Structure 1
Amino acid sequence: MSKKRMISIVIIVVIFIGGVAIFNGNEFQSTFLAKDKQSEAPVASNKVAVQVISPQKAAQGEGLHYKATLEADQEGIVSSKNSGKVISVLFNDGKQVTQGESLVILDDQDIKNQIKSAESQLEVSKASLQKSEASLENTQRSYDRTKILAQQGVVAQAELDNAETSLKMIKADIASSQANIQAAQTNIDNLKTGLADMIIRAPITGVMDGKNVSLGQFLAPGSVLGKVKDISVIDAAIEVDQALIQTIKIGQKARVKLNEDDTNNYEGIVKSINPSADPSSRAFKVKIQLNNEKLSLRPGVFAKVMLTDDVKVQKFVIPVALITGKEGDYSVYINDNGIVKKLAVTVGNLVNNQAEIKSGLQGNESIISTNLNMLQEGDEITVVSE
């Protein structure tokens, strides 16, 4: 074989071996890349992708606001203690009266006649007592003499017994007359009290309200004729949710306005907090006492109360759309390490689609803001953005 032919054969073999190596290399590379791409393929998951937001701190105001109803601090019932015909009515609703002032007068002629009769009976009893007391002195002396004579044997025992009986009868008459006098005097005192009650007076100082009496009306004992309301001090009654009641204290300061446009502020303090909540609303009734010397505030009027907290309660703001539930049972969904958690909140004012959260949030929660209709408490989630 020639040298030239030998070189050609070697070249052909080298080329063949190189081609096989290149082919195998490309096949290996393709296989490796395919496996690598397969390893990068996404793994199927049931987690819901969500976005979250953080609650924003609300501008710290002067306190919490509540709707209130104004009430009289004290209320006295005007009622009749006796029966009788009304002969005079001395008041109308709205009249300012003082304690003890005459309001209604009843016909008292019958009770005056009873007093005269009782006084006559008293005089009879007194006269009877005087007569018995005069006889007592003579009867006592007669008994004493008879007793001495009986001891000396001058008179029989029977005569002494008769003298003793006469003495006992006189003493009994005296006791009876004294009892009659006491009874007659008690009756007179009661009648005079009843006579005084024929003038029905104001139980307290205040403003008349709820008039329920007219001339000629016959009243039975206990008839309610109206009310006297002391409005020199007014109470603003509010209802406080159970989640916030611990933030309110007796003596806490408050300000009251009749409406948003009212330029007058009435200063007050928390007067009372009901010890138990209303069974339906689960709210506590709280009363704020206001000085009303000018009588510009009236019972039954609606007002707005602002409690100025000594310890400020931090409130937060979140979009209204993130709140679920109904009034009294609001909540939000938060991310709790990849698990949906339902958190109860108390909602306050709503402004520009933003809800004030009075309680329930600490400020560090991640509140779920998307796909809320796909979530339930306990679901697994993936946070895609904040």
Structure 2
Amino acid sequence: MVGHRRSNWIGIGTLLLILIFVSCEKETQESAAVDSVTATTDYTQLVSSTVVVERAALRPTLFASGVVKGQHEVLVKARTSGVVNSIDFSLGQQVEQGQTLVVLDDTIAKLSASQISLQVQNARKELDVQNQLYERGAISLSMLNQTKSALDGLEAQLERAQETLRDTTISAPIAGSIADEGISLILGDTVQAGQTITRIIDLNEMRIALSLGQSQIFFVQEGAKATIEIMTPNEVIRAEGVVGAVSSGSDSRTGSWTTFVDFTNPRPDLIRAGVSANVTIKNDLAPLHPLVPNAAMVNREGKTYVYVKQENSARLVEVEVLDRYGDLMAVEPIDDSYDLVGKEVLTSGLSRIDDETSIVTQYE
């Protein structure tokens, strides 16, 4: 029994000696690793992130939104008064140019035209007689001219009467879709001259009306290409368009400039007048400049600089800010012989950096 206990204590002592030996060996290795890192790291260098400078347009596109409408829209109005005999269209119907929409009672218009037509015929016969009498010297030139004047007046009345008769049939002036119906357009009711009958929209060629502010209008020209996006619950419909017109003056109420972007409707079955659309207008004439992030700019004693990475140090380069937009700035070096394009500019830790400061970049 005593020998067995002595054997257990010997085993436990051996295990403790092994654990102490392993622990000392691990501390020695860690100490050696720390000494190695310390020896290879220069703690006088500052760590900074960089961005490569590119020459590009600061404002290559312009974003705006507006409401879609038809390039060709008309309000159809009655040009004469009359009782509605028939209504030959319905909401949403596709109609062709010249198609009959409404027919008004033409009884009075026909009688009026017929009466004046007979008066014109009689006046022409009277003028023939007057011409013969004038040639024989039986009447004066003044009397002949009075007869001619009376005929001219009757012919003008006949033209108006015939026009009124034609206006009793109201037709579609353009091909398109019926957008709405006139108020109180009921069979048997009387419509008045000037009353709206319907609105017709050609859904094949559409237009977006944009209201642009002063900061935007300088970057838009007629003929510029544009991309249109219309969001629907199931998909995003895209189309290519062009700037069709830019107003020559601002709206006195809003101070904005109206700009039309025209496009061919890719989905006439879905895209209708009144929906909202996002428009991206391309600015092909935008000037190209070196672009740097706002975070790279340094202001020292009233001047503007950027730090350029040169091997393992930072070089302070004075620049002129030409324009700024979003998170970028368009700049040019004060020294015309120095080219920023392709260089790396520092964007972090700038408050601790001076000219020729030793640096390492974030990923070195």
Report TM bin, short chain. Answer: 0.5 to 0.7
Three-state SS of the structure 2 residue aligned to 1:247 is coil
Match of 2:199 among 206, 227, 235: 227
- After TM superposition, list the pairs within 5 Å mapping 1:202-221 onto structure 2: 202-212=172-182, 213-221=185-193
Match of 1:168 among 139, 143, 152: 139
- After TM superposition, list the pairs within 5 Å mapping 1:77-226 onto structure 2: 77-129=75-127, 140=136, 167-168=138-139, 176-212=146-182, 213-226=185-198
Quick check: 1:66 aligned with 2:64? Answer: yes
Contact 1:55 1:364 in 2 (8 A): no
- Percent identity over paired residues: 20
The amino acid across from 2:329 in the alignment is Q
Q: What's the offset of the Cα at 1:73?
A: 0.9
Contact 2:227 2:281 in 1 (8 A): yes
Quick check: 1:300 aligned with 2:274? Answer: yes
Match of 2:21 in 1: none
Alpha-carbon deviations, 1:142-195, whole Å to 9, x = none? xxxxxxxxxxxxxxxxxxxxxx8xx237x7766555444443333222211111
Contact 1:97 1:202 in 2 (8 A): yes
Structure 2 CA distance for partners of 1:182 and 1:278, relative to 1, 3 Å: closer
Q: What's the offset of the Cα at 1:239?
A: 3.4
Three-state SS of the structure 2 residue aligned to 1:288 is strand
Rounded Cα–Cα distance in structure 2 between residues aligned with 1:277 and 1:54: 43
Alpha-carbon deviations, 1:8-55, whole Å to 9, x = none? xxxxxxxxxxxxxxxxxxxxxxxxxxxxxxxxxxxxxxxxxxxxx999
- After TM superposition, list the pairs within 5 Å mapping 1:221-370 onto structure 2: 221-259=193-231, 262-278=235-251, 282-292=255-265, 295-296=268-269, 297-311=271-285, 336-337=299-300, 358=325, 362=329
Structure 2 CA distance for partners of 1:338 and 1:202, relative to 1, 3 Å: same
Three-state SS of the structure 2 residue aligned to 1:244 is helix
Contact 1:93 1:210 in 2 (8 A): yes
Q: What's the offset of the Cα at 1:110?
A: 0.4
Three-state SS of the structure 2 residue aligned to 1:117 is helix
Q: What's the offset of the Cα at 1:94?
A: 1.9
Name whichever structure is richer in helix by fraction.
1
Structure 2 CA distance for partners of 1:215 and 1:172, relative to 1, 3 Å: same
Provide structure 2 residue ranges, at least 5 long, that are not aligned to the other structure: 1-48, 305-323, 333-349, 354-364
Three-state SS of the structure 1 residue aligned to 2:84 is strand
Three-state SS of the structure 1 residue aligned to 2:181 is coil
Structure 2 CA distance for partners of 1:196 and 1:62, relative to 1, 3 Å: same
- After TM superposition, list the pairs within 5 Å mapping 1:33-52 onto structure 2: none
The amino acid across from 2:72 in the alignment is Q
Provide structure 1 residue ranges, at least 5 long, that are not aligned to the other structure: 1-52, 141-163, 320-333, 342-356, 366-382
Three-state SS of the structure 1 residue aligned to 2:204 is strand
Q: What's the offset of the Cα at 1:115?
A: 1.8
Structure 2 CA distance for partners of 1:317 and 1:244, relative to 1, 3 Å: farther
Select the structure of larger CA radius of gyration: 1
Three-state SS of the structure 2 residue aligned to 1:304 is strand
Match of 1:35 in 2: none
| Number of aligned residue pairs | 260
Contact 2:293 2:329 in 1 (8 A): no
Match of 2:43 in 1: none
Three-state SS of the structure 2 residue aligned to 1:122 is helix
Structure 2 CA distance for partners of 1:63 and 1:134, relative to 1, 3 Å: closer
